[in-house]
Amino acid sequence: MDAEGDQEPTEVRCDYPSESVGADSSMTEEYRATLLRLMANQAYGERLASTSYAPWINRAPGVEERRIMAEIVGQELDHWRIVVELMGGLGVPWDKVSGYQSFHHFYPLARCFVPVLRWTDILMSTFLIDRAAYFMLEDYARSSYAPWAKAVQAGLEEEERHGHFGMEFLSGQMAKIGARPVQRALNKWWRIALNMYGPPNSRHHDTYLRLGLKFRSNEDRRRIFIADGAKRIGEVGLSVPKLIHDRYPYF
């Protein structure tokens, strides 16, 4: 039991080691369905990121900012393409991929709190959301499904650079308009980012770990993100936002 009386999670046996399943391997229906759901969810996230950033290729406030936006959009689209093609190898046509994804509350939540994206919101997305996604992709890079693991491993460095771009963008924006409006944007997006990992006790958690498709819980990834985010926030000269509610869903 932890300090608040919650039951400590039990260790889940992993039946599928990292990269132990190939495209031609036999799969149980449970394994195939779970794998396709997770890959479809990644494909949706990559596509949504590209469509969110794309308008800023022509709207970002500087030449370098527009160039980097174009680079990020191209990379996100390429990550989407790779995942879609992997699913195609498992018999799912590219235009049917969305039928395999699960509902994720994070995306409508983000649209609710940020209905119109401004440049400071784009900065926070590259600074926080792309970094939060990086820690999710780390799990997929160790997936038991070898083609997916290898594909994600190849793209992790690009995802990490998106967070670095965010830090550079924030520093430049603060020099132009001051820290206060950027801090206000951070206060809003920090709570949104913390919700990206979902509830601490996902009903699929044990299945993901047992099938070797993830190796950490939602809360494990959130803790890593919080520690990393606090360090990066300090490095750009901002303050970690204070939370009214210090646990999920943070609102």
Residue with tokens 């430049």: 172
pLDDT band of 189, cuts 50, 70, 90: very high
Highest averaged pLDDT of the listed ranges 84-98, 161-175, 193-207, 233-247: 84-98
pLDDT of residue 92: 98
pLDDT at 142: 96
Distance of CA 62 to the CA centre of its chain: 26
pLDDT reported for residue 8: 44
52 pLDDT above the threshold of 60: yes
Q: Which residues contact 159 (CB under 8 A, 6 or more apart)?
A: 79, 130, 133, 134, 137
Domain residue extents for the chain: 29-235
SS3 198: coil
- For the residues 37-51, what does the mean pLDDT come to? 95
pLDDT at 229: 95
What are 127-180's pLDDT values in tens digits?
A: 999 999 999 999 999 999 999 999 999 999 888 888 788 888 888 888 888 899
6: number of Cβ within 10 Å: 10
Residue 209 reports pLDDT greater than 70? yes
pLDDT tens-place string over residues 91-109: 999 999 999 999 877 777 7
Residue 145's DSSP bridge partners are 21
* Sign of the torsion formed by the C-alpha atoms of 198, 204, 205 and 208: negative
Of 126, 111, 197, 205, nearest in space to 159 by CA: 126
pLDDT (0 to 100) of residue 244: 87
What's the pLDDT at 93? 97
**pLDDT of 10 strictly over 60:** no
Q: Which pLDDT value is given to residue 111?
A: 77
Domain 29-235 in CATH 1.20.1260.10: yes
SS3 21: strand
Rounded to the nearest 5°, which phi and psi values hold at 243?
-100, 135
pTM of the shown model: 0.89
